[in-house]
Copies of this chain bind each other. A is one copy, B any other.
Amino acid sequence: MENYNKLVEHYKTISNFSHLSAICGWDAAAMMPSGGNHARSEAMAQLSLHIHQLSTAPQLADWFEQAQSDDLDAGQRASLTEMKRQWQLSTVVPEDLVKAKSLAGSKCEHAWRTQRGNNDWDGFCKNFEQVVRLSQEEAQIRGEQAGLSPYDAMLDIYEPGVNTKQLDAIFGDLVSWLPQLTQQVIDKQKSESVYETNESYSTEQQNALGLEVMKLLQFDFDHGRLDISSHPFCGGVPQDVRITTRYDESDFVQSLMGIVHETGHARYEQGLPKKWAGLPVGQARSMGIHESQSLFFEMQLGRSEPFIRNLAPLAQKHFVTNNNQVFELSNLQKIYTRVQPGYIRVDADELTYPAHVILRYEIERDLMNGIIGYRDIPELWDLKMKQLLNLSTEGNFKDGCMQDIHWTDGSFGYFPSYTLGAMYAAQFMAAIEETIDVNEAIRTGDLTPIFTWLSENIWSKGCLFTTDELVSSATGQTLNSQYFEEHLKRRYL
């Protein structure tokens, strides 16, 4: 145990510094005045360097070796496995490359903020070229070390265990039925009339409603807060989860579901195993599982009929309107399940969202594997948008391949997590429905049985299991995309 305990102490130290990074990162997005940015960036870069040094400390190799012969129980074995995983992810890429990529990503992202508005693809490419080159180099090195293709090695950072072969199959299946279903739903919704809201809802009103919905979702306000930032996120630490949203006074729709979404991320963090706090094994299993929780809250719960039945009187209570029909159950339900192909991923509905992910997946896969170059992206983007959503993005870079931050800062391999998350969410809901009357629980406003299931099967497990093991033990089988298909057909047809 002695060697393992040295590792525990070391990883708790890393966790303490990561805590400070999380809080100061939240502060930079939600609180900091713009003039504080320069000094903060320097302080955060210093902290990142320190965390990187701790994560790649030379003595760790020996400690891992020695800890193998410690007498460890199953939990400690899993804990050791996750420490090693994080250590390998950190050490495999040379420090120079880490720094160069981080620098290139920051530079590209900073310029992108104005270039996107100007639709300036050529200007963007001047920085993006470097980001792609360094990311390809990283993918190459990670792949060689792990015995994987370059892109599979990048996937492994965010979604350990998943690979191109699986994703090709899963996404291939999706493409075989989703576009057709989407068209069917669009045709069906054409004949429906929806009362649009064209009134103004103050930030204070929207915030008060948001807080009430968070209470319904049992967000623990003794261990977290809701604030405002220009891009909504879930940050902080499990003991103090900071979620943010943005308010558009002419449109309450997006921000409210945004709060529900981030509350899903937050409850996963708040429900992580306290016994393993501060250790890698006590963290969220993967980005896909993290997205499964936010999408479980937003899609499985939030847009369901009984949930909107709860929402309707709350909206009526907080919003003064000249048109009460807007906040009636049937109308709110239509608003929250409307399907409309569009250019922008983050604005996409449940049915068209996967198309945005699949398109990015296919491009980033081939880019990391060296099959295409970054100059090929716009044409491929346009082609796939036409195939999947029947929309042209010819010459429209800002609503096309320049819309996301992920590639801009070199996070290739992240996108599939979103759609994996949507599928896991549907599978979890199907499993829950086997033993719990979900609609009845939502209708009564006491969602405890649902959250107890999630807590026992997902949240409290941290990284004790692989994703496959976690999903199997929770649902009796590994990922099965059929539940997602059934969910969509049931809700939208």
Q: What residues of chain B lie closer than 8 Å to A221, measured between beta carbons?
A: 33
B20 touches A240 (CB 8 A): no
**Copies of this chain:** 2
- Give per-residue flags for A36-47: 1 if the beta carbon is below 8 A from chain B beta carbons, else 0: 101110111011
A240 and B35 alpha carbons, distance in the complex (Å): 7
B36 touches A17 (CB 8 A): no
Decide if A450 is an interface residue (CB 8 Å cutoff): no
Interface size band for A: 35 or more
Decide if A129 is an interface residue (CB 8 Å cutoff): no
B13 touches A239 (CB 8 A): no
With A24-B23, A35-B240, A237-B36 given, is the CB distance from A46 to B13 under 8 Å? yes
A-B pairs with the 10 shortest C-beta distances? A36-B240, A35-B222, A16-B46, A39-B239, A19-B43, A35-B223, A16-B43, A20-B20, A36-B239, A33-B222
Q: What residues of chain B lie closer than 8 Å to A225, measured between beta carbons?
A: 31, 33
- Give per-residue flags for A228-241: 1 if the beta carbon is below 8 A from chain B beta carbons, else 0: 00000000111110
A421 and B264 alpha carbons, distance in the complex (Å): 51
Q: What residues of chain B lie closer than 8 Å to A32, measured between beta carbons?
A: 240
A44 and B240 alpha carbons, distance in the complex (Å): 14
Decide if A224 is an interface residue (CB 8 Å cutoff): yes
* Contact residue among B27, B34, B237, B240 (Cβ-Cβ distance under 8 Å from A222): B34
25 A–B contact pairs at CB < 8 A? A13-B46, A16-B43, A16-B46, A16-B47, A17-B43, A17-B46, A19-B39, A19-B40, A19-B42, A19-B43, A20-B20, A20-B44, A20-B47, A23-B24, A23-B27, A27-B27, A33-B222, A33-B224, A35-B220, A36-B236, A39-B237, A39-B239, A39-B240, A40-B239, A50-B50
Min CB–CB distance A249 → chain B (angstroms): 18
Decide if A277 is an interface residue (CB 8 Å cutoff): yes
User: From A36, which residue of chain B is reached at the shortest CB distance?
Assistant: B240
List residues of A whose CB falls within 8 A of some B CB: 13, 16-17, 19-20, 23-24, 27, 31-36, 38-40, 42-44, 46-47, 50, 220-225, 236-240, 277
A36 and B222 alpha carbons, distance in the complex (Å): 8
A237 and B28 alpha carbons, distance in the complex (Å): 13
Min CB–CB distance A297 → chain B (angstroms): 20
Q: For A16, A24, A224, A237, which residue has the most chain B Cβ atoms within 10 angstroms?
A: A16
Q: What residues of chain B lie closer than 8 Å to A38, measured between beta carbons?
A: 239
Q: What residues of chain B lie closer than 8 Å to A223, measured between beta carbons?
A: 33, 35-36
A43 and B236 alpha carbons, distance in the complex (Å): 13
Min CB–CB distance A51 → chain B (angstroms): 12
Q: What residues of chain B lie closer than 8 Å to A236, measured between beta carbons?
A: 36
Q: What residues of chain B lie closer than 8 Å to A19, measured between beta carbons?
A: 39-40, 42-43
* Contact residue among B20, B224, B239 (Cβ-Cβ distance under 8 Å from A24): B20
Q: For A31, A44, A221, A236, which residue has the most chain B Cβ atoms within 10 angstroms?
A: A31
Query: 19 new A-B pairs (CB below 8 Å) besides A16-B46, A19-B43, A39-B240?
Result: A16-B47, A17-B43, A17-B46, A19-B39, A20-B24, A20-B43, A23-B24, A23-B40, A31-B31, A33-B221, A33-B222, A33-B223, A33-B225, A36-B223, A38-B239, A39-B237, A39-B238, A39-B239, A40-B240
